[in-house]
Amino acid sequence: MSARDEILERLKQVQRHEPLPPPWQSRRDFADLAARFVQVLTAAKGEVYQVESLAAAYEMTNQLLRQMEAERVVLNDERPLRNLPHLSSITYHLVGQEDDALRNFCATADAGLSSADAALAETGTIVLTNGPGKSRLATLLPPVHIALVPTTALTTDLFTWAVDFSRQRLQSSLPANINFISGPSKTADIEQTMAVGVHGPKRFVAILYD
């Protein structure tokens, strides 16, 4: 037996099977998750619109695109976005189609559209995972990011979401990337002078729909 095998054998002999800790129970309690999400995200310089349905979310999205006079829009291939009515004045690029041109399109796009895997009420944060039809470029390169967020995505805080997420992914592979977005891109220098939009979108809009 080699020295390595001898060490491994000794380790096996002292292994103990410890019970797993109980499921996480959040200490946070918000009477209205949507109200808390709106309050905190707005304080972080994000914009939130609450609407009563997905159809109303489509209408609000196109209203915003008209207001900003958008000409090029990239959107992730996600269920809430697949039936978005297209405006004749806009050129669209759907992630997953001709992805060799995706980076160049996103670099010149006026807005990027996505859904959200989760919305954290405590911090006003949306959670985005990557995967087929979902690209970071669509939400990081354009100057405006619009997210269509269903109220079913709302949860209390990061820890509560992490427990649910780990259970869902227990039998499958984890995504290569997870983004947490709490408003537009912000940075500050040593004197705490705030600059918005330096490292990403300078405008972030969440459309929260029932």
Q: What's 103's domain CATH number?
A: 3.40.50.10420
Helix, coil or strand: residue 39: helix
Establish if 68 belongs to a structural domain.
yes
Establish if 1 belongs to a structural domain.
no
Domain that holds residue 51: 34-209
Whole-number Å distance between alpha carbons of 139 and 109 = 10
Decide: 81 and 145 in contact? Cβ < 8 Å: no
Whole-number Å distance between alpha carbons of 28 and 35 = 14
Establish if 170 belongs to a structural domain.
yes
Establish if 27 belongs to a structural domain.
no
Q: What is the pLDDT of residue 53?
A: 97
Whole-number Å distance between alpha carbons of 154 and 151 = 5
Domain count, the chain: 1
- What's the pLDDT tens digit per position in 83-107? 999 999 999 999 987 777 899 999 9
Sign, CA torsion 12/16/17/23: negative
Establish if 61 belongs to a structural domain.
yes
Establish if 90 belongs to a structural domain.
yes
- What's the pLDDT tens digit per position in 105-154? 999 999 999 999 999 999 999 999 988 899 999 999 999 999 999 999 99
> 50 vs 92, 150, 207, CA distance in Å?
25, 10, 6
Proportion of the chain above pLDDT 90, given as a percent: 66
Establish if 93 belongs to a structural domain.
yes
Q: Measure CA 124 to chain center.
A: 11
Whole-number Å distance between alpha carbons of 207 and 36 = 15
